[in-house]
Copies of this chain bind each other. A is one copy, B any other.
Amino acid sequence: MKLSDIGEFGLIERLVRQTAAESPALVVGPGDDAAVWRAGGELVIATTDTMVDGVHFRSENGRWRDLGWKALAVNLSDIAAMGGRPTYSLVTVCLPADLGVAAVDDLYAGLMECAGEYGVIVAGGDVVRSPVASITVAMLGAGAEHDGEPTLLLRSGAKPGDVIAVTGTLGDSAGGLRPLAEGVGLEDALVRRHVRPTPRVAEGRAAVAAGLRCGIDVSDGLLQDLGHVCEMSGVAAVVRARNVPISDELRAGYPAEALEMACTGGEDYELLMVGPKDKIDSLPVTVIGEIVDGAGVKLADDKGSEIAFERTGWDAFRA
């Protein structure tokens, strides 16, 4: 049996089982956007994310500075998805020996630009030779507590009756892929969304402050990521297609496919939040549906009929 047979989520389930004995020592164990534990009276949030040449980026386009930004930003997004405040990071770069030094300078310039923007300290890391370039960031953050209880956005926090909301617009990152491949740069709004994603750190903290306790970042596709929330909460979700926020740029560039891209495209790094309507209404987000009893995610048209797409999101090992 190969990894392509069980897919990314089959593999994760397997590894979570293998490391399950660890869970009692953790506030949040493997399987959420980040792990959480207590140290020195504080809640530590920890996550790590890797980008590999040919899989998550293409080194031949030479956009090393954007890559540095994005490698840090996608990790910030995981801290944001827990409602945390990012603090320190470690950066590992695996690089071919014949790579130009200027590319690494650019990569770090982008990293430090993003770190500066979000107040994260790059504390250390590792440099390693590899035939295939990759960059791995490990990111730490701090979580808040209220009356001794952690106040985090968890995948397992959804309840029937809750509403579902997202920040920003969806599908733009997927829409940026085609112009990017054609050599279009940061002047294009969709390309910018793809190569310079905005981690929703302030929004995640605002959600926690507003009393929300359920969230995830939309990294693999709305329907798939919402599916993880439903699975871990033991609930079902209905998303109303007409309410899914789509940018003018995406509608203009992809009139026929914009909805599918918004529902299944990856790497938007917007936050999906779930909670009581009155609490969500206080936040600058778009309500797109509600949590109900049952299992699975249904995308509904105006008449309530289900809209189905061939796939709901990105699976690393089946792509």
Which residues of A does B touch, CB under 8 Å?
1-6, 8, 11-12, 14-15, 18-19, 21-22, 25-26, 29-30, 34-35, 37, 39-42, 44, 46-50, 52, 54-56, 87-88, 90, 92, 94-102, 104-105, 108-109, 112, 121-132, 134, 136, 138, 140, 142, 316-319
Contacts and interface: CB of A to CB of B under 8 A. Distances in A.
A2 B127 contact: no
Sorted nearest first, the 6 A-B pairs with minimum C-beta distance are A40-B40, A40-B42, A138-B138, A35-B124, A35-B123, A4-B97
Contacts of A18: 105, 108-109, 112
B127 A12 contact: yes
Contacts of A6: 101
Contact of A46 (B3, B101, B123, B318): B123
Interface centre among A11, A128, A316 (most CB of B within 10 A): A128
Interface of A (DSSP majority class): mixed
Nearest to A50: B128
A87 B22 CA distance: 12
Contacts of A99: 2-3
A42 B44 CA distance: 12
Contacts of A97: 2-4, 317-318
Interface centre among A47, A48, A55, A98 (most CB of B within 10 A): A48
Interface centre among A4, A25, A39 (most CB of B within 10 A): A39
B40 A124 contact: no
A122 B18 CA distance: 10
A2 B98 contact: yes
A128 B52 contact: yes
13 contacts: A3-B104, A19-B122, A35-B124, A37-B88, A39-B42, A46-B140, A48-B126, A49-B126, A50-B94, A52-B94, A52-B129, A97-B317, A131-B132
Given A40-B41, A95-B3, A316-B127, A90 B14 contact: no
A37 B121 CA distance: 10
A5 B99 CA distance: 10
B94 A134 contact: yes
A101 B136 contact: no
Nearest to A24: B121
A316 B3 contact: no
A3 B34 CA distance: 33
Contacts of A4: 97-98
A66 to B, nearest CB: 17
A246 to B, nearest CB: 29
Contacts of A104: 3, 11, 14-15
